[in-house]
Amino acid sequence: MHEQTGTLALLAGSMLGLAAGHSHAAPTLAEQVRLMREQMQAWDKERAANNAQLKAQQQRIQQLEQQLGIRQTPAAGQTTPAASLQARTAPATAEEGAPHQGNTPAVSQTPRDSNPASQARVEQIAQTFDVPGVLTPKGQWTLEPALQYSYSSSNRVALLGYTIIPAITVGLIDVRRVNRDSWIASVTGRYGLSNRLELEGRLPYVYQSEDSIQRPLGTGSSRDEVFNTRGHGIGDAELGLRYQFNQPVDGGPYFIGSLRVKSDTGKGPFDVDYVSDIDRGIDYLKEQPTGSGFWGYQLGVSAILPSDPAVLFGSLNYTWNQKYDVNQTRCARGGTQGDTCKPVVIGEVDPGDVMGFSVGAGIAINEKSSISFSYEHNVVGKTKFNGQTPPDAYRAQVGMFQIGYAYRLNELSTLNLNIGIGATEDSPDAQIALRMPYNIL
C-alpha cells in the first residue's frame, strides 16, 4: 500500500512537472514570433530605402544622359534596369566624355540626340542623299561603294552664221542630236577624327559614251554624219572634311559644315584628242573626258531637323573652280559665209563657279526602311576665255528632282537607292545611284 502511494505521488509530480514545462514554453514561442515580425518589418523598411535610392540613381542617370544627348527621358515607370544598364555600360570617349551606343537602324554610330527613333531616321535619311548628317564616331571607318548611271539627250540647233533679216540666215545650220550615257563606279571612305569631325575621301572610275548625229545644211549634204566616242578611266579624286557644330538635345536641328577639294586626276576636255576639219567646220572629241580638268574647292553648310514623323534637311554650298592655262588651238566657227571655221588659240580658261542648294524631307516607313524626297539645284557661272566672256556664254541651270529609298541590311550596312529626274534643259534626263555604306568597327 505504501509503495502504491509513492508511485501515485511520483506520477502526480511528473504530471505537474510537464504542466509547468508547457506553461513555461508558451511565452518563448510568442517572443520568437514577435522577433520575426520585427525583423520582417526592418527588412521591408530596408527594401523601401533601397528602392528609393535606386529610383533616385536612375533619375540622376536619366538627367545626365539627357544633358549628354544620349536618349529621351522616358515617362515614370517606363525605365527598365536593362535600358539603364545598357546606357551606363556604353563605351565613352576621352575627348567628348559622352558614351554612344551600338548601331540602331541607322548607318553609323554617332552621339545620340534626345530621341533614339529620330536619331535613327536622321542617320538613315541623311545617308540616302549623301547629305552630311550625323558624322562617323571617333576611330570608326565607313566604306561606301557606289554605282551611278545617268542618261542625257538633246537636240542642238546651232546657226553658224549671221542673220541679215528675219528668216534669212547666211552661213551653215548644224542640226545635231546627242545621246550621252555615263557610268561612275566609286569608293568612298570616311574616318571619324572625333565624334564631330569626319575625314572623307572619294575615288571614282568613269565610263562615258556619246553618240551624235550631225547634218550640215546648206552645203549640199544629204546624209547624216554619225560620231561615236567613248572614254573611260580614273575620274577626279576628292577629299573633304565635315564638322558638326552642335549636338541637339531636345529635338533641335543639326548644323554641319563641310569643306571639299576636287582634284584634276581625270582627263579633262582639253586633255583628249580632237578631230578637226577647218573646211567643214568639224571639231569633235576622239574620246570622252573622265574629269573636269580643273581643281575645285567647295564650302558648304547643311541642316537636318527631326520633326516626327519626318526629317527635314537642306544645304547650301559654293564651289570655286580654279582657272587653268590650256594653251591649245581649237576650231572656232566664223561669222561670214565661207568662213565657217578657223583656228583659235585658247590660252587661259576660267570655268564658272557653282552655287548650289538642296531641300528635302524623309519619312521612316518602319525600323528598316525610309523614303525621301528632295530637289537639288546648281547654277553654273559663265566661262571666261583669256579673261573675256564669250558672247554666246550663258549660266547653266542644273536642277534635279530626287526620290530615295534606304533599307537597313544589318546593323553595319544599309542599301540606298536614289532616282533623279532632270528639271532643266542642262540637267541629265535621268539618273540612278546605288550606294551601300558599311561600317567597320
Q: What would the pLDDT profile of 35-71 be if each residue is shown by its tens digit?
A: 888 888 888 888 888 888 888 888 888 777 766 655 4
Residues 202 and 255 in one domain: yes
Q: Is residue 317 part of a domain?
A: yes
pTM over 0.75: no
Which grid coordinates belong to 183? 557610268
Q: Are the C-beta atoms of residues 258 and 302 closer than 8 Å to each other? A: yes
Q: Is residue 110 part of a domain?
A: no
pLDDT at 73 > cutoff 50:
no
Burial class for 111, CB neighbours closer than 10 Å (0-12, 13-18, 19+): buried
Distance CA 284, CA 167 (A): 29
Residues 121 and 52 in one domain: no
Distance CA 303, CA 311 (A): 10
**Beta strands of 273-395 (E only): which ranges?**
274-277, 282-285, 296-307, 310-321, 324-332, 342-350, 354-364, 369-380, 384-385
Residues 45 and 184 in one domain: no
Q: Are the C-beta atoms of residues 303 and 317 closer than 8 Å to each other? A: no
pLDDT at 211 > cutoff 70:
yes
The confidence band for 340, taking pLDDT boundaries of 50, 70 and 90, is: low
What's the domain range around 60? 1-73+81-88
The residues, any chain, with a CB within 8 Å of residue 438's CB and separated by 6 or more, are 142, 143, 144, 412, 413
How far is the CA of 412 from the CAs of 7, 107, 437, in angstroms? Answer: 96, 7, 8
Q: Is residue 102 part of a domain?
A: no
Least confident piece of the model among 166-175, 302-311, 323-332, 398-407: 166-175
Q: What is the pLDDT of residues 104-130, one digit of tens each?
A: 333 333 343 444 445 555 555 555 555
Residues 180 and 45 in one domain: no
Residues 174 and 290 in one domain: yes
How far is the CA of 150 from the CAs of 132, 144, 296, 421, in angstroms? Answer: 23, 19, 22, 10
Mean pLDDT score of the chain: 74
pLDDT recorded at residue 403 = 95
User: What's the average model confidence in pLDDT over 95-112?
Assistant: 36
Residues 268 and 342 in one domain: yes
pLDDT at 258 > cutoff 90:
yes
Q: Is residue 407 part of a domain?
A: yes
Residues 5 and 64 in one domain: yes
Q: Is residue 276 part of a domain?
A: yes
Q: What is the pLDDT of residues 277-287, one digit of tens each?
A: 655 555 667 88
User: What's the average model confidence in pLDDT over 332-337?
Assistant: 49
pLDDT at 420 > cutoff 70:
yes
Residues 19 and 156 in one domain: no
pLDDT recorded at residue 32 = 80
Q: Is residue 10 part of a domain?
A: yes
Residues 65 and 127 in one domain: no
Residues 140 and 44 in one domain: no
CATH number, domain of 326, equals: 2.40.160.40
> Count of domains in the chain?
2
Residues 300 and 430 in one domain: yes
Q: Is residue 95 part of a domain?
A: no
Q: What are the backbone angles phi and psi of residue 83, rounded to the nearest 5°? A: -65, -40
pLDDT recorded at residue 295 = 92
pLDDT recorded at residue 126 = 54
DSSP class of 271:
S
pLDDT recorded at residue 342 = 66
Q: Is residue 12 part of a domain?
A: yes
Q: How many other β-carbons are positioned within 10 Å of the β-carbon of residue 431?
A: 19
Residues 245 and 299 in one domain: yes
User: What's the average model confidence in pLDDT over 86-100?
Assistant: 37
